[in-house]
Amino acid sequence: MDLSWSAALSAQEGRKLAGELFEETFGYQPLDVWSAPGRVNVIGEHVDYNGGPCLPIALPHRAFIAYAPREDRLLRLVSPQTREAVDELDLDKVAPRGCEGEVIGWASYLSGVAWALEKAGYGPIRGFDAALYSCVPRGGGLSSSAALECAMAVAIDEAEDLGLAGPLSAPSDKGRAILVECARRAENEIAGANTGGLDQTASLRCEEGHALALDCRDMSVEHIPFDLESQGLALLVIDTRAAHSLADGQYGQRRADCEEAARLLGVEQLVEVEDLQGASEALEDERLRKRMRHVVSEIARTRALIDLLKEGPLEGSRVQVVGALMNDSHDSLRDDYEVSCTELDVAVDAARGAGAYGARMTGGGFGGSAIALVDRERVEETAQAVARAFADHELGEPAFIVAVPSAPAGKL
């Protein structure tokens, strides 16, 4: 059957499309075009807010922002993907969710970054005109939202001479960590989505050809070579296109469960739990026990996978071990954390049935995307098997991406 592949724009195409949209909309040339990638997490799910490690890579799919500062404090924003333009939003009036001046919809991600930078002491920032052109699938669990924020963050950083990001040839780790915090605050406080810092860190601090081992206790990072292609492997991303909404309460409930389990166990965060057996016995509540078991076991799996990648290329039986860790991750998210859904389970089962070394849901869950580690020459066949399984289950048509670790936010 015909498969739907979500194509990534090249840097030239993205620059051109965003630049043209800017000129058409605002009638003059932008200062320049900045971009930032979406991400996919290889392993380490729902552990960021528990202080655990995770392992994202930046996707080739990016959000491009053509940008020019203005002399006043107004923002004008346009995105062809939403069809609505935002006209003359006053930066002085932007306020957190639930307050007078709250910004609704996609403009909250962009205006939120300017707001957060000012809150962090990097203001005053001039108003701006910005044209957004993104090819990161929206709402697919691939962090289209962080891509917007992070493209915005590097645009403002350079246009306002904040000196935080550094050039792509020599990115500043410290400065980028500050931009991550501002992008996260934009998402949490202005857009009202209560997510951890994984997405923004991936978009701003990943490295081409590498996975990012991120320690969420202190947000320190390590770049680990992740060149699947040269090892005859590929990471197939399956966008189920099932609507996911992290803001709808489930995400908040999982976080609350983890906080409650940590409190009962007398630790600050679940990352401090060393004895899974003992902790299981100490928690009487079945639900809290399952949530804790996912987090603690996922942290162990993630550390194991990171160690494996550090030892050298993925060859022979090591590929099977990585696959098994991915499989266990999914099963734990499905059974203990209860954040999977029919579409994700069908995708994972079909990919495994087609011979994938491992497959798991990725991102927050309840829809979004799954990933499968497969032999390079079996990418098409695996995607076909997944698409057929979706048709058999009368689910909507999925879309596919081959994830190659790409460059972080900056001016490509």
Cα–Cα distance for residue pair 120/106, rounded to 1 Å: 22
**Residues designated catalytic:** 199
- Name which of Mg ion, ligand ADP, none residue 134 binds, using a CB cut-off of 5 to 8 Å depending on partner kind: ligand ADP
All residues at 6 or more sequence positions from 170 whose CB lies less than 8 Å from its CB, including other chains: none
Alpha carbon distance 412, 201 (integer Å): 18
Binding mask 92-131 for Mg ion (x = CB under 5 A): ----------------------------------------
Instruction: Report the partner that residue 82 touches, choosing among Mg ion, ligand ADP, none (CB closer than 5 to 8 A by kind).
Output: ligand ADP
Please report which helix (H) or strand (E) contains residue 159, including its range: helix 144-159
Look at residue 141 and give the partner it binds from ligand ADP, Mg ion, none, a contact being a CB closer than 5 to 8 Å depending on partner kind.
ligand ADP
329 is a site residue for Mg ion (CB under 5 A): no
Distance in angstroms (rounded) separating the CA atoms of residues 223 and 256 = 31
How near is the Cβ of 286 to ligand ADP at its closest, in Å?
Answer: 30
H helix intervals, 266-316: 276-282, 286-311
Alpha helices in 312-370 (DSSP H): 317-335, 342-353
| Shortest Å distance, C-beta 109 to ligand ADP | 6
- Sign of the Cα torsion 369, 12, 148, 108 reads negative
Give the footprint of ligand ADP on this chain (CB under 6 A): 79, 81-82, 105-106, 109, 132, 134, 138-145, 148, 193
d(CA 121, CA 103): 21
Give the bridge partners for 89, in sequence order. Answer: 75
CA 146 to chain centre: 6
Quick check: 240 binds Mg ion (CB under 5 A)?
no
Partner that binds at residue 318, options ligand ADP, Mg ion, none, CB closer than 5 to 8 Å by kind: none
- Tokens 């909507």 appear where? 396
* Terminal-residue alpha carbon distance, the chain: 36
Q: Which helix (H) or strand (E) holds 260?
A: helix 250-265
Token pair, residue 345, equals: 């389970």
Separation of alpha carbons 205 and 200, rounded Å = 8
Shorter beta-carbon distance to Mg ion: residue 305 or 403: 403
Q: Toward Mg ion, which CB reaches closer, 50 or 145?
A: 145
Structure tokens at 176: 């980028």
Closer residue to Mg ion (CB): 134 or 145:
145
The residue nearest Mg ion at its CB is 145
> Is residue 98 helix, strand or coil?
coil
CB of residue 124 vs ligand ADP: minimum separation in angstroms?
A: 26
C-alpha dihedral sign at 269, 290, 328, 141: negative
Instruction: Tell me how far, at minimum, the Cβ of 139 lies from Mg ion, in Å.
Output: 8
Closer CB to ligand ADP, residue 194 or residue 384?
194
79 binds, among ligand ADP, Mg ion, none (CB under 5 to 8 A by kind): ligand ADP
Near Mg ion in 133-162, by CB under 5 A? 143, 145
Report, in Å, the least distance between residue 268 CB and ligand ADP: 27
The reply on whether position 362 binds Mg ion by CB under 5 A is: no
Complex with ligand ADP: residue 10 or 81, whichever CB lies closer: 81
* Residue (41 or 145) nearer to Mg ion, CB: 145
When the beta carbons of 143 and 327 are compared against ligand ADP, the nearer one is 143
Q: Is 41 in the site for Mg ion (CB under 5 A)?
A: no
For residues 254 and 373, give the distance between their C-alpha atoms in angstroms, rounded to a whole number. Answer: 27
139 makes contact, choosing from ligand ADP, Mg ion, none, with CB < 5 to 8 Å by partner type, with ligand ADP
Q: Which residues bind Mg ion (CB under 5 A)?
A: 143, 145
